[in-house]
């Protein structure tokens, strides 16, 4: 309220309330001062007659005529009034919000009853207003209308049932129909039934209607909600002891867990002496335990996390190459090893652009390692641009000194030289890498196209048949006709990636297809092209630097023009000037004939100016150098062969052990003088066994040179396995090194494991 004119009374009240002394505190004194100062004779914009007054006499004056102190007091009064009004509005808003929250806290049935009762009261009030009568009169007419409706329903029910009304019953029903008020209530009988809550009739007592009106007028619509039922009883204390036997990873049934619980109660091994019945337990589990509480203890954290709320990350405002994500996937089918031609399951490392879901690079290797990751990242950055963030898990292929540099300080690390920020997902949190995890399902579809598919849904007999076939053909011919070769495998991978990048992706925006005119999701290639049209330009690599940029570097010390890497020594005369200095040695992951030696820039921690390209054993007679990959393979093979030799020697000693006693007997006999002994006499048997058939000789026990030979023979002759051989193979499968030897020997460990389970 912006009041600018005030009467003498309003001025006096304001001055008196604020305790000012510059103006009189009574209306009469204020009028005398106003007249003394001549305000009534001023122009109309300063003094005017009060509106609504008849006969005159009332005057009001503009605020500018008042002293400054009085003007300030009036301004303060205005501010206080505005704050009061705003406070009242906010209080009313808060009250409505609280009431809405209380209403929303009701269940669906209670809200429906509350709304039905409100509709009944509104219909009665509307009927009274339309007839110009009181609420009591309308309530009486509403009761009569309900009686008429009940009478009509009774007549129709009896007519449908074929019952004949007696004259007395017909007269009574007719009288009830005559006494009814005319229809006009805006409410259906079904809503009246709902307002009754627990009654299935339209009969509503006058006392109930008056009680509803009183509750609504005093407390609001929320008071019309039905009274909630009595509070549920507390969960019995013994139930928590029962959880010790039910909420366990074995996931026992309720009766089985209850049986264990009763045994513990009988043995007095529980905290609460009071037991619960099986019916109580079943009721609590069904009606009182809600949400995740049902699974706590019976499921691990990883499984529980799949039931919890999650956060969806949006990439709508992200440019391509902002984030690359990578992960490895073991292929679920066997292909021919490019070197040995034996069956193997390769590891596919894929790199995806998060913004467009496009597969920008891949690499194939025997397992997920730094070589595969570096190759996949090199392809991605060379073709599509350097990413700002590389988001991966914490596997050994991503967390190493080649990627991060020495001691994780980005000294010579690939991430530091490319200017990429590497981020790792939390352990055991595959949900955080949902984009790349969902993409890996593409390789499952590709694996099913190969005849050597080994997925969990593959038929067991068909899996064993193809396993035996490929091993037999490799032994006989050196190759298997149904085992895909390396070239076919790589061609299938590239075709799959191309089809994926051209296929609409549900994680990308929708647009109108220019060909069909229908709305559909973009494909990764279309999303990338859309960003390019919008002005996106990737950070590319200079072709002259591409080869050196992806080369890992390590810090080494130059000694006598030599640097050492991977147990190989490299020589160049230019290193003489850097004797005893730390230098950066760069190497190629696939060759070992030479290394690139650069100065060590201590300020940035990165390789500096190129010193030379050192040659393997450049100052000595040339030997065949070992690449990093070859050395790793040879070391692994040597360790496996040594373990096989040790096991073979142990088995030989175990085989010869039973004959030690016989050998000892022969050695003792050497000390006996045979010539001095009497001539041996023929021995006469007490029982003549000459007519008994000779006992056939026992078959000689089969001996295997290695455990791998035993495993291969077991897969082909499962029915001939002895208990000792079964125990030996089980022991091998329990050790990781033995499983690795089996895999290198071409043994399907999964088929062997299933075989041992079958013969158990």
User: Which two structure tokens, joined as six digits, stand for 572?
Assistant: 């160049």
* CA pair distance 557, 559, nearest whole angstrom: 6
Has residue 14 got a pLDDT over 70?
Answer: yes
* Local structure of residue 411 (DSSP, 8 states): B
* CA pair distance 440, 496, nearest whole angstrom: 12
Tell me the torsion sign for CA atoms 472, 476, 479, 480: negative
| 326, containing H or E segment | strand 323-330
| 173, containing H or E segment | helix 167-178
User: Which two structure tokens, joined as six digits, stand for 650?
Assistant: 């142990």
Greater confidence (454 vs 1) lies with 454
* CA pair distance 745, 711, nearest whole angstrom: 10
| Radius of gyration over every alpha carbon of the chain, rounded to an integer in angstroms | 47
* CA pair distance 132, 115, nearest whole angstrom: 26
Q: What is the distance, to the nearest Å, from the Cα of residue 157 to the centroid of all Cα atoms in its chain? A: 59
Has residue 180 got a pLDDT over 50?
Answer: no
Helix or strand or coil: residue 358? strand
Nearest of 454, 449, 444 to residue 334 by alpha carbon: 454
Q: Say how many residues make up the chain.
A: 760
Has residue 185 got a pLDDT over 90?
Answer: no
Q: How many CA atoms lie within 13 A of 95 on its CB side?
A: 10
Nearest of 279, 277, 283, 271 to residue 240 by alpha carbon: 271
Has residue 376 got a pLDDT over 70?
Answer: yes
C-alpha distance from residue 557 to each of 371, 406, 539, 617 (Å): 25, 14, 34, 16
* CA pair distance 616, 593, nearest whole angstrom: 5
pLDDT digits (tens, 9 = 90+) for 136-160: 888 888 888 887 777 777 777 777 7
Q: How many CA atoms lie within 13 A of 506 on its CB side?
A: 3
- Read off the pTM: 0.47
3-state helix/strand/coil string of 579-638: CCCEEEEECCCCCCCEEEEEEEECCCCEEEEEEEEEEECCCCCCCCCCCHHHHHHHHHHH
Has residue 561 got a pLDDT over 80?
Answer: yes
Q: What angle do CA 6, 9, 10 make, to 5 degrees?
A: 45
Q: What is the distance, to the nearest Å, from the Cα of residue 392 to the centroid of all Cα atoms in its chain? A: 16
Pick the most confident of 190-194, 417-421, 521-525, 629-633: 521-525
Has residue 670 got a pLDDT over 50?
Answer: no
Query: Phi and psi for 334 in degrees, rounded to 5?
Result: -90, 140
| 71, containing H or E segment | helix 68-104
Helix or strand or coil: residue 51? coil
Q: Over the chain, what is the mean pLDDT?
A: 77
Strand-pair category, 335-336 with 323-330: unpaired
Check residue 576 and give left, alpha or beta (phi > 0: left; psi -120 to 50: alpha).
alpha
pLDDT, position 452? 92
pLDDT digits (tens, 9 = 90+) for 213-248: 888 888 777 778 887 655 566 777 778 888 888 888
Domains of the chain: 5-95 (1.10.10.10), 108-224 (no CATH), 238-304 (1.10.10), 323-533 (3.30.420.10), 552-626 (2.40.50), 638-654+701-760 (no CATH)
pLDDT digits (tens, 9 = 90+) for 187-196: 777 788 888 8
pLDDT digits (tens, 9 = 90+) for 36-57: 888 888 887 788 887 754 545 5
Tell me the torsion sign for CA atoms 548, 554, 559, 564: negative
C-alpha distance from residue 337 to each of 479, 488, 628 (Å): 11, 12, 19
User: Which two structure tokens, joined as six digits, stand for 645?
Assistant: 């030799």
pLDDT, position 744? 78
CB atoms within 10 A of CB 272: 14
Tell me the torsion sign for CA atoms 549, 617, 611, 559: positive
pLDDT digits (tens, 9 = 90+) for 314-362: 666 788 988 899 888 899 999 988 777 889 899 899 999 988 999 998 9
602 close to 412: Cβ distance less than 8 angstroms:
no
Q: What is the distance, to the nearest Å, from the Cα of residue 41 to the centroid of all Cα atoms in its chain? A: 83
DSSP H helical ranges for 657-693: 660-669
* CA pair distance 549, 414, nearest whole angstrom: 8
Has residue 396 got a pLDDT over 50?
Answer: yes
611 close to 598: Cβ distance less than 8 angstroms:
yes
* CA pair distance 525, 437, nearest whole angstrom: 20
pLDDT, position 662? 39
pLDDT, position 392? 83
User: Which two structure tokens, joined as six digits, stand for 106?
Assistant: 């009701």
* Local structure of residue 568 (DSSP, 8 states): E
288 close to 235: Cβ distance less than 8 angstroms:
yes
Has residue 676 got a pLDDT over 50?
Answer: no
* 436 burial type by CB count under 10 A (0-12 exposed, 13-18 middle, 19+ buried): buried
pLDDT, position 660? 37
First-to-last C-alpha distance (Å) of the chain: 93
pLDDT, position 449? 92
DSSP H helical ranges for 179-294: 189-195, 206-219, 238-246, 254-266, 278-283
| 527, containing H or E segment | helix 524-533
* CA pair distance 434, 354, nearest whole angstrom: 10
* CA pair distance 6, 12, nearest whole angstrom: 10
Question: In the chain, pLDDT over 70 holds for what percent of residues?
Answer: 75
Torsion of CA 262, 265, 267, 272, to 10 degrees: 160
pLDDT, position 683? 44
Query: Which pLDDT band holds residue 453 (cuts at 50, 70, 90)?
Result: very high
């Amino acid at each position: 309220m912006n009041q600018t004119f005030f009467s003498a009374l309003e001025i006096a009240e304001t001055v008196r309330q604020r305790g000012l002394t510059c103006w009189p505190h009574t209306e009469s004194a204020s009028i005398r001062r106003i007249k003394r100062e001549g305000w009534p004779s001023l122009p109309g914009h300063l003094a005017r007659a009060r509106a609504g007054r008849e006969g005159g006499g009332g005057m009001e004056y503009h605020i500018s005529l008042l002293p400054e102190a009085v003007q300030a007091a009036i301004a303060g009064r205005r501010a206080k009034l505005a704050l009061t009004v705003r406070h009242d509005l906010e209080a009313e808003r808060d009250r409505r919000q609280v009431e809405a929250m209380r209403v929303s806290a009701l269940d669906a049935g209670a809200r429906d009853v509350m709304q039905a009762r409100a509709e009944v009261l509104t219909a009665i009030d509307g009927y009274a207003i339309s007839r110009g009568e009181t609420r009591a009169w309308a309530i009486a007419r509403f009761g009569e209308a309900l009686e008429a409706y009940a009478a009509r329903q009774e007549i129709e029910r009896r007519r449908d049932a074929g019952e004949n009304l007696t004259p007395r019953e017909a007269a009574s029903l007719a009288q009830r129909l005559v006494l009814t008020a005319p229809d006009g209530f805006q409410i259906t009988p079904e809503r009246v039934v709902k307002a009754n809550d627990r009654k299935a009739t339209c009969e509503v007592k006058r006392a109930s209607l008056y009680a509803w009106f009183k509750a609504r007028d005093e407390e609001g619509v929320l008071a019309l909600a039905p009274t909630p039922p009595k509070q549920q009883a507390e969960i019995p204390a013994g139930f928590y002891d029962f959880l010790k036997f039910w909420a366990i990873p074995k996931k026992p049934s309720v009766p089985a867990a209850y049986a264990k619980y009763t045994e513990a109660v009988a043995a007095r091994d529980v905290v609460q002496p009071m037991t619960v019945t099986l019916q109580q337990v079943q009721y609590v589990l069904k009606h009182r335990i809600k949400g995740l509480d049902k699974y706590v203890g019976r499921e691990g954290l990883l499984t529980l996390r799949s039931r919890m709320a999650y956060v969806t990350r949006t990439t709508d405002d992200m440019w391509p190459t902002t984030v690359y994500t990578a992960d490895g996937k073991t292929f679920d089918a066997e292909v021919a090893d490019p070197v040995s031609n034996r069956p193997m399951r390769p590891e596919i490392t894929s790199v995806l652009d998060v913004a467009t879901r496009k597969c920008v690079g891949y690499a194939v290797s025997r397992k997920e390692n730094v070589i595969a990751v570096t190759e996949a990242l090199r392809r991605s950055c060379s073709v599509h641009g350097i990413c700002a963030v590389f988001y991966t898990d914490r596997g050994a292929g991503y967390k190493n000194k080649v990627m991060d540099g020495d001691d994780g300080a980005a000294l010579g690390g690939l991430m530091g030289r490319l200017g990429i920020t590497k981020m790792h997902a939390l352990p055991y949190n595959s949900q955080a890498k949902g984009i790349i995890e969902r993409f890996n399902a593409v390789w499952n579809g590709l694996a099913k196209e190969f005849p050597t598919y080994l997925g969990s849904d593959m038929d067991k007999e068909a899996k064993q048949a193809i396993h035996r076939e490929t091993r037999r053909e490799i032994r006989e011919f050196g190759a298997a006709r149904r085992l895909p070769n390396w070239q076919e495998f790589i061609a299938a991978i590239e075709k799959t990636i191309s089809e994926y990048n051209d296929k609409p992706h549900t994680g990308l925006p929708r647009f109108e297809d220019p060909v069909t005119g229908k709305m559909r999701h973009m494909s990764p290639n279309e999303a990338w092209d859309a960003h390019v049209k919008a002005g996106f330009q990737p950070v590319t690599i200079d072709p002259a630097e591409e080869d050196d940029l992806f080369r890992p570097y390590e810090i080494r010390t130059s000694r006598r023009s030599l640097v050492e890497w991977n147990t190989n020594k490299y020589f160049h005369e230019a290193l003489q000037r850097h004797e005893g200095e730390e230098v950066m040695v760069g190497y190629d992951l696939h060759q070992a004939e030479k290394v690139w030696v650069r100065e060590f820039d201590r300020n940035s921690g990165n390789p500096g100016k190129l010193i030379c390209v050192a040659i393997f054993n450049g100052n000595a007679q040339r030997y065949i150098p070992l690449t990093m990959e070859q050395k790793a393979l040879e070391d692994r093979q040597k360790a496996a062969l040594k373990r096989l030799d040790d096991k073979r020697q142990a088995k030989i000693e175990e085989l010869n052990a039973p004959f030690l006693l016989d050998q000892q007997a022969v050695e003792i006999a050497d000390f006996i003088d045979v010539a001095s002994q009497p001539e041996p006499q023929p021995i006469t048997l007490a029982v003549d066994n000459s007519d008994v058939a000779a006992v056939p000789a026992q078959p000689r026990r089969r001996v295997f040179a290695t455990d791998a030979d035993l495993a291969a023979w077991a897969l082909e002759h499962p029915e001939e396995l002895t208990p000792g051989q079964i125990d030996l193979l089980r022991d091998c499968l329990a050790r990781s090194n033995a499983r690795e030897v089996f895999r290198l020997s071409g043994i399907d460990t999964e088929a062997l494991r299933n075989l041992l389970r079958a013969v158990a």
